[in-house]
Structures are given as structure tokens and as C-alpha cells.
Amino acid sequence: MPEIQRQIQLGKQGITENFISTLKNHFKKCKTVRISVLKSAGHEKQKVNEYSKRIIEELGKNYVSRVIGFTIVVRKFRKDVR
């Protein structure tokens, strides 16, 4: 069965509790989520890198991220880290 890849958008409100909970719900069904950073959220490389670091801090140790252009690819790499 091929892995499903989800895609969500990060808008002008930035990273909110609702955004993080939506992200966690996506990870219940798949291992990889692509986050498109919209122009309204700040189209600067430095801002996208800050968003990436903050998302990983919010999600925890089980996740890694990679920035490609204005897209953040977040991957869940283990079941559980204790």
C-alpha cells in the first residue's frame, strides 16, 4: 500500500494550537505532511526556517522537518520516543 502524503497550508495566523492539532490528526493516518507557507504568512526564507523549528518544538521528538523552498516537509520517523 503506497504511503499517503497530506498537504496543508500555513496562512497569516501562523502556528496556532488549532494548526498543531490538525497536524497531529494528519499524523495519525500518514507519516509525511507537506506544509505550504503562503505569502500572507511571510514569504522569507528566514521566516520559513523559524516556522519549521517551532513546528518541531510543538510536535516533539518523534518528528523531523526539511525546508524546500516555501514548503516544510514534516516526517514522523518513529512510533514513540521516551
Q: What is the CATH number of the domain that holds 71?
A: 3.30.110.60
The percent of the chain in helix, strand and coil, each rounded to the nearest 5, is 35, 30, 35
Q: pLDDT value at position 80?
A: 57
Q: Does a structural domain hold residue 81?
A: no
Letter string b/e over residues 30-60, b meaning 16 or more CB atoms within 10 A of that residue's CB? eebbebebeeebbeeeeebeebbeebbeebe
Query: In whole angstroms, what is the distance from residue 66 CA to residue 49 CA?
Result: 9
Q: Is residue 51 part of a domain?
A: yes
Q: What's the predicted TM-score (pTM) here?
A: 0.86
Q: Which segments of the chain have a pLDDT < 70?
A: 1-3, 78-82
pLDDT at residue 50, rounded to an integer: 94
The pLDDT value recorded for residue 5 is 78
Domain range for 70: 5-76
Is residue 60 assigned to a domain?
Answer: yes
Residue 82, in any domain of the structure: no
